[in-house]
Structure 1
């Protein structure tokens, strides 16, 4: 990977923040957007803006071709068998909610179990809490090891013949833990359950093959993988999507409407009510082209190398706590002793370094870590070792500043 050439494709990185060159280390929250994506969205609005599927005029046909062309790019990107299994949504949160409402609430009953983990993002906890309350099902948690990983023996002990749904993140947005999704899927299926995978952090950083993983549903967002905000994907096995009820009703998703009853379009459109996120989908297609040109294996190797380098450098700082396993994805979550993470992030921002601070939409995990909040530096294909060096220098300045304050 030619990192300098890649960085030049991201115009936002060429700026100063508070008098310092921007060091963007918050890609787990949202990635920056490369020129090909910006240009694709701009071109659509300049030359092809129209609604899709409805008109027979030239602009409508052009927009539809590009929208559905992006669906095919997503299908290929995750190795789905058919574009009918690729549903465009607003993002990972919407995708998981579609399953929790359209599938779980229709098929769960008292005595059934939903199994998740304490490391999940709120978007992969609250929908299952609500589904359990609505159906009388029981919510259970796979225990975590001390380093924030999952042992398959614990999965086997937690998943039972009463388990109907297992929901797990592909990669933790706090710990960087990459979960053994394929093996967890096998255990779920042996017990007659389906598996729902939160791929918000997985899809941007590693090659995803939904057939090889044998996942029943896989959800991810475009904005974390160089695409615009507001566009996401729900992949599902066809037989499950056929059984699911739509969550949104209205235009686009109908086949026939009578005064007292209606029927739905075939997949995937039965789940895409209303005017879809056309520009976002086109931008997602351009982002996939961009990522494929670089190579997902190259991106994963780069990200893991940066994470390892960050762990090595940051572990030299006295009074720092780093959370999660040694082997991890492209992020490091940490705290400095006696410094609130919001204060850490504020001092780093004064140096032009953007990191995240807070509970990262993972309050149960914060409780498990016995902290109220943490700081997080997350990396992507445009970051370098120099960015991490700047982070370490910024952390040392933070320690010095608060050390002087409290003297």
Structure 2
């Protein structure tokens, strides 16, 4: 599959590559709109996992036999492929495989934060951060005596950039910001925030869990010092995430997980560490998952990330417009043409969990709750919201199915 970036997606052909989309529940077709939590997986990626286990399943960097050599080469090349996908010119030395975005965040927080932060230092987050960032830096600050501050979100669901310029000062050591809000759909100006941070000799960590699957991302154009994302949101398998870091920063950091594979030399008195990125990948790593993630990068590139982005934003705008037809629905975040591929909303007199149950009875899978952004929901005065999130295989007809199912919720709780 190879397309011009200006062509619309052939959604029906894409859907044929995702076997789970054939599922029905009591004769009702599955409408999967929970892609911000986990995307579905195409045959090509599933086959790559099967091929690994059927043909060259072995541990990496530990054996001289043929299977280990083949697995090692594939695993190393997977790092290079992921680096290429996000524009990291340093290749594998700047790409660490983790379990997920959360582990990537914790790797930097523990390996960098515990060593570099202390009383008087500040970490600047935003009010729309996922718990993976908010809780992690909050707890690191408690351990180090540093202070955490939050850039405010305005009434339209955008960052208050004037407030950001006030908060980020020479006392700021780290700015940690979500690229795309998993609740609001807001696309944050991360390059501008990187410039502000660097003007104050601060580092910036970008949470790309909701951006890398949906839009072209170039970590060097952003000038991110660290960048993280997960495979399972971008057609890849669960259990693999990515931490990108500028080589000089990763090189200076000490690992915080110890064991096999990450060492160079061990004596009874001391140890030295393997070269990048292996010093941060202790123990048997995510071999099949990493190889499959590289396959997912190939798959998305074959479609074209500009086309992926356009399709998702068009569906989100359509959903926004459909939901705006109803006075009893409040949509969280910016306007329909200014958001990424998701829409979160609150329905008058119907709790999000009840909405989700009724949608599920109609074959529509969505997310209900606080989406790991409790403080943001508290600020918005909403206990929970319903989130519909879209990907390359979703259609306008599925958005219509969502809206039609909401009528049932409206009738039941009238």
Q: Does 1:265 align with 2:274?
A: yes
Matched with 1:81 is 89
Matched with 1:376 is 387
- Runs (4 or more) in structure 1 with deviation over 3 Å come to none
Deviations 1:21-70 (A, max 9, x none): 00000000000000000000011011110001111111111111111111
| C-alpha deviation, 1:245, in angstroms | 1.2
Rounded to whole Å, the distance in 1 between the matches of 2:412 and 2:239 is 39
Structure 2 residues without counterparts, runs of 5 or longer: 1-8
Matched with 1:391 is 402
Q: Does 1:52 align with 2:47?
A: no
Rounded to whole Å, the distance in 2 between the matches of 1:335 and 1:132 is 33
Structure 1 residues without counterparts, runs of 5 or longer: none
Deviations 1:151-182 (A, max 9, x none): 32221111011000000000000000000000
| C-alpha deviation, 1:131, in angstroms | 1.2
Q: Does 1:72 align with 2:80?
A: yes
Matched with 1:208 is 217
| C-alpha deviation, 1:19, in angstroms | 2.9
**Alignment TM-score, normalising by the size of structure 2:** 0.96
Rounded to whole Å, the distance in 2 between the matches of 1:198 and 1:188 is 15
SS in 2 for 1:197: strand
Determine if contact 2:101/2:242 at 8 Å carries over to the other structure: yes
SS in 2 for 1:87: strand
The equivalent position to 1:13 in structure 2, one of 21, 24, 27, is 21
Rounded to whole Å, the distance in 2 between the matches of 1:296 and 1:131 is 35
User: Which stretch shows the higher mean deviation, 17-26 or 7-16?
Assistant: 17-26
Deviations 1:233-287 (A, max 9, x none): 0000111111111011000000000002000001110000000010100110110
Determine if contact 1:252/1:273 at 8 Å carries over to the other structure: yes
Matched with 2:360 is 349
Determine if contact 1:18/1:350 at 8 Å carries over to the other structure: no
Matched with 2:4 is none
Rounded to whole Å, the distance in 2 between the matches of 1:58 and 1:286 is 22
Matched with 1:32 is 40
SS in 1 for 2:349: coil
The equivalent position to 2:161 in structure 1, one of 148, 152, 157, is 152
Matched with 1:360 is 371
Deviations 1:175-212 (A, max 9, x none): 00000000000000001100001111011011110110
The equivalent position to 2:230 in structure 1, one of 221, 237, 257, is 221
Rounded to whole Å, the distance in 1 between the matches of 2:141 and 2:28 is 49
Rounded to whole Å, the distance in 1 between the matches of 2:194 and 2:277 is 24
Rounded to whole Å, the distance in 2 between the matches of 1:324 and 1:383 is 21
Matched with 1:331 is 342
**Alignment TM-score, normalising by the size of structure 1:** 0.98
Q: Does 1:118 align with 2:100?
A: no
Rounded to whole Å, the distance in 2 between the matches of 1:343 and 1:93 is 29
Matched with 1:285 is 294
Matched with 2:5 is none
Rounded to whole Å, the distance in 1 between the matches of 2:65 and 2:118 is 48
Determine if contact 1:18/1:351 at 8 Å carries over to the other structure: no
Equivalence map 1:87-236=2 (5 Å) = 87-236=96-245
Matched with 2:3 is none
SS in 2 for 1:115: strand
Rounded to whole Å, the distance in 1 between the matches of 2:21 and 2:383 is 31
Rounded to whole Å, the distance in 2 between the matches of 1:42 and 1:196 is 34
Determine if contact 2:346/2:382 at 8 Å carries over to the other structure: no
Q: Does 1:319 align with 2:328?
A: yes
Count, aligned residues: 403
Matched with 1:2 is 10
SS in 2 for 1:367: helix
Instruction: Give the RMSD, CA atoms, in angstroms.
Output: 0.8
User: Which stretch shows the higher mean deviation, 113-122 or 56-65?
Assistant: 56-65
Rounded to whole Å, the distance in 1 between the matches of 2:350 and 2:118 is 47
